[in-house]
Structure 1
């Protein structure tokens, strides 16, 4: 199916908007079209809260890391007072990048003409600018980007008028409160570059329909039921599976004791949540892990997989030995998901690819598609349309 001239015409998505048992997937071109991707960047990623990792990745004053998110180069830094900040990684003189990689710095110095910026983003040195008329250093600091945290997790938002992070998350913090993420420590982090659309990876992570095939020799060996969708308020959706033992281990492996503070469903199995648009958490009885997705174009993405354990567990003398069993599970299952996502991208790129029907086991694939459309299209949102029809 070729990409239409008007990718925002609601008529293209009429069957996506139907109830799950009648609905189809997004058109294949939504996963390959540069035009549709640019609308996603403009109307979605530049307007919402995007997850970029853990605060304990930069624990000390002067610690920083850099990233490029949907084409915007950024610096994330902990300033001298210990406050976390985010800035555009672009010199206010002629735009050169002022920092790369990660590390610890006392200042950021532009490699082009030597302009220097403090950890608070202020311009502290601008060589040979004393003869420039009305030049004010106070007005030429690094451009700040909104950064807020929840339980040790970092989120950025490019829209200065967007709602607060906690309002955006809705009831997710309450639902996952008993894990006490803020007391956890990140001990695992891996990056991958994948040749697939970001939605393909998010959809795959939020359905269990693929497990018997894709994870036949790994996760399928764990006793489980098909996880039901959990009710949610705010910009997230999720599944919960009831089971015994940890879902962060392969069958036969032993690990750490359960987190003692877990209550309700948290103590009875595993939550799999998606914070829109592209952040997946796996929260099980003894740890948590995440999939952090950075879109790099319509058919490419960066995946960052991280894992956290309660800090007291990380001080055990046998922690590194036992933790390797968790890392093994994450790397094997992530590899399987990476492979199938790239295989799906190859097929969906075909000019003969058409929308498919959804199984009852894919409710969140349906939800993800409609959330994307709610934010990208000009039409009323799906929920508004239902209310209008009912009235």
Structure 2
């Protein structure tokens, strides 16, 4: 509709030019008009194509009868573009943890879709977030993570404070109608819940302000907020380390694998399965969170498990964040789409402070985790290749164990039709 509204001014412009100077032959004008009309037609067809992909999944069919989403959801570049705009750029998104900006003047950067962002803590300890783009000629400002009192553009030297204000614009002598206040960094909404940092890319922000943890928790997690805060998401745990994996699969393949209710565990993770009572596996569904639980085997010490006993808790927070708590350990998985068949998964590990210096325990636990990740990567990449095969389109759900996966697909459909 917006493109159709643009057509008249464009045609009027060509008409006026023709009357005044006739700089283009009539054939050139017709070509321009034809191209404009073609773009509008193609755009309409493009949107229709998007919607047809979305409606190939029916969330209203009970899981016992439902088909899984079609393989096009996992292979189409157009579908991924739709997901960015309707899923990832709406509401709160986990982007990191407090450890990354614990100190004043610290920062870290990231990218989600076409949005480059930087999260920082200014000299007064205020947590802030901005689009990581210089207002002069669009160069990225900051890279990776680190500390500093300002952001200086590597292209032309424009400099910004960690509060986003433009401090220095080089070689602008003679510039007119330039107001420094209009060229500060573009802010993003930033919040904290537990040890996690969240961004909201949806709302324009005129000023940075704090957000109450309870309000953010309710908005992000719904009724699962209180349950998670009292059952494993513990800010008292010490941050241990980070590991990143680039996987040749669509981001949803990794999520689906996580959400199959332990279905794949005895087949793909035999060592892990030996320490779990898989018959005890349970799944509870909330508004935009699903929590899987399972009783574990032998524990290191009873004291370490005062909070959860030997029970493992696996929480999936729509659309792409997972929190896993088992005894003194917690790890998180953040899945970032890099393309229709590629994603990055960031693991952050947390541990009870009393065990942080137990080097043997830490090394063995990380080694076990790495083994599970390698097994999952092999599975996910295999599934992606199968999804791209002409032999497959849709599958079925195992109703007793894949409720969380079905819930994930229904939430995705709900977002995509808005």
Residue 66 of structure 1, CA deviation:
1.2
CA shift in 2, pair 1:343/1:27, >3 Å: same
- Structure 2 CA distance, aligned partners of 1:17 and 1:80? 52
Aligned 8 A contact 2:275 2:296 in 1: no
* More helix, by proportion: 2
The count of corresponding residues between Structure 1 and Structure 2 is 359
- Structure 1 CA distance, aligned partners of 2:172 and 2:164? 18
Structure 2 partner of 1:110? 153
Structure 1 partner of 2:239? 186
Which residue, out of 257, 260, 269, partners 1:204? 257
What are the within-5 Å matches in structure 2 for residues 226-245 of structure 1? 226=279, 227-232=281-286, 234-245=287-298
- Structure 2 CA distance, aligned partners of 1:344 and 1:256? 39
- Structure 2 CA distance, aligned partners of 1:109 and 1:4? 40
Which shows bigger deviation, 154-163 or 109-118?
154-163
1:91-136 C-alpha deviation (Å, 9 max, x unpaired): 0001001111111111110011100011111111111224311211
Aligned 8 A contact 1:256 1:322 in 2: no
- Structure 1 CA distance, aligned partners of 2:199 and 2:222? 17
Structure 1: stretches of 5+ with no match in the other structure = 247-253, 379-391
Alignment partner of 1:183: what SS?
A: coil
Aligned 8 A contact 2:335 2:344 in 1: yes
Which residue, out of 278, 282, 291, partners 1:225? 278
Residue 210 of structure 1, CA deviation:
0.7
1:279-338 C-alpha deviation (Å, 9 max, x unpaired): 111111212111111111111111101110133443xxx433321121112111111111
Which shows bigger deviation, 190-199 or 174-183?
174-183
Alignment partner of 1:144: what SS?
A: coil
Structure 2 partner of 1:165? 216
**Computing the radius of gyration over CA atoms, which structure comes out larger, 1 or 2?**
2
CA shift in 2, pair 1:18/1:34, >3 Å: same
* TM-score w.r.t. length of structure 2: 0.81
In the alignment, is residue 363 of structure 1 matched against residue 403 of structure 2? yes
- Structure 2 CA distance, aligned partners of 1:95 and 1:291? 31
In the alignment, is residue 176 of structure 1 matched against residue 228 of structure 2? yes
Aligned 8 A contact 1:198 1:295 in 2: yes
In the alignment, is residue 271 of structure 1 matched against residue 323 of structure 2? no
In the alignment, is residue 129 of structure 1 matched against residue 172 of structure 2? yes
- Structure 1 CA distance, aligned partners of 2:198 and 2:72? 29
In the alignment, is residue 119 of structure 1 matched against residue 162 of structure 2? yes
1:222-276 C-alpha deviation (Å, 9 max, x unpaired): 13124111242x4211111133545xxxxxxx4794254x2xxx33501111100
Q: Which has the higher contact order (CA 8 A, sep 6+)?
A: 1
- Structure 2 CA distance, aligned partners of 1:274 and 1:38? 23
CA shift in 2, pair 1:129/1:67, >3 Å: same
Aligned 8 A contact 2:87 2:415 in 1: yes
What are the within-5 Å matches in structure 2 for residues 73-152 of structure 1? 73-152=116-195
Structure 2: stretches of 5+ with no match in the other structure = 1-45, 206-210
Structure 2 partner of 1:58? 101
CA shift in 2, pair 1:231/1:373, >3 Å: closer
In the alignment, is residue 374 of structure 1 matched against residue 417 of structure 2? no
Residue 352 of structure 1, CA deviation:
2.7
In the alignment, is residue 291 of structure 1 matched against residue 337 of structure 2? no
- Structure 1 CA distance, aligned partners of 2:116 and 2:50? 28
Aligned 8 A contact 2:90 2:202 in 1: yes
In the alignment, is residue 68 of structure 1 matched against residue 116 of structure 2? no
CA shift in 2, pair 1:347/1:231, >3 Å: closer
CA shift in 2, pair 1:87/1:71, >3 Å: same
